[in-house]
């Protein structure tokens, strides 16, 4: 079985490696524009599936994993910031409150297709303007949904997480492995006597 991650995200790759999975990566170039009126969970799952489909078309023999992570606050989806001022605006919205992180996942392989979304609730402590300016200046927020990386510098802002931290990082690894196992696509170490 060949496992392919349809993502260039080093964070997702790190999560798969840490779980003991052997895989290759293939970048999927898909339109990630949210459709009018599209519910956040539907949006994350649709984009994840589009990524998996794009890579599966090129590698039909492989089991392909696509994922997409979004941040939702007050029903609004916070994508990747367009520029520094946009990142600062997002961080102000997250300051001192809870928000939801959703990661949609699509798996396409010889044994079928499965899609799911996993959610986590994240609480930020109140952020000062100095906190925001410092973090934006690091450049880290610029390619992250919601303008932050929980495993990076923003870890100093997160006071609590309800749900899997891996979901917030970008790939709900426990749920993913459960689904791969159900599909017969999860390599399992053989037992020795």
E strand or H helix at 117: strand 112-124
68 carries an active-site annotation = yes
Cβ atoms of 95 and 155 within 8 Å: the answer is: no
Burial class (CB in 10 A: 0-12, 13-18, 19+), 180: buried
E strand or H helix at 43: helix 40-58
Here the tokens at position 31 are: 């339109």
Check 14, 24, 68, 86 and give the catalytic one.
68
Cβ atoms of 169 and 151 within 8 Å: the answer is: yes
Question: What is the number of alpha carbons within 13 Å of residue 13 lying toward its C-beta?
Answer: 11
Residue numbers annotated as active site = 68
């Amino acid at each position: 079985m060949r496992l392919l991650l349809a993502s260039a995200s080093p964070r997702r790759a790190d999560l798969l490696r840490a779980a003991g999975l052997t895989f290759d990566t293939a970048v999927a170039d898909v339109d990630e524009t949210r459709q009018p009126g599209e519910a956040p969970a539907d949006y994350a799952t649709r984009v994840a599936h589009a990524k998996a489909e794009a890579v599966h078309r090129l590698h039909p023999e492989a089991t392909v994993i696509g994922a997409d992570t979004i941040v939702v606050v007050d029903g609004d989806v916070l994508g990747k910031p367009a520029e520094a001022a946009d990142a600062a605006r997002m961080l102000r919205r997250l300051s001192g409150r809870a928000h939801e992180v959703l990661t949609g996942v699509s798996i396409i392989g010889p044994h079928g297709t499965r899609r799911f979304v996993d959610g986590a609730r994240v609480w930020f402590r109140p952020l000062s303007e100095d906190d925001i300016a410092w973090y934006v200046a690091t450049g880290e927020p610029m390619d992250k949904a919601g303008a932050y990386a929980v495993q990076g510098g923003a870890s100093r802002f997160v006071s609590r997480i309800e749900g899997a931290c891996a979901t917030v990082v970008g790939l709900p690894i426990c749920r993913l492995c459960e689904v791969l196992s159900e599909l017969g696509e999860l390599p399992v170490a053989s037992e020795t006597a």
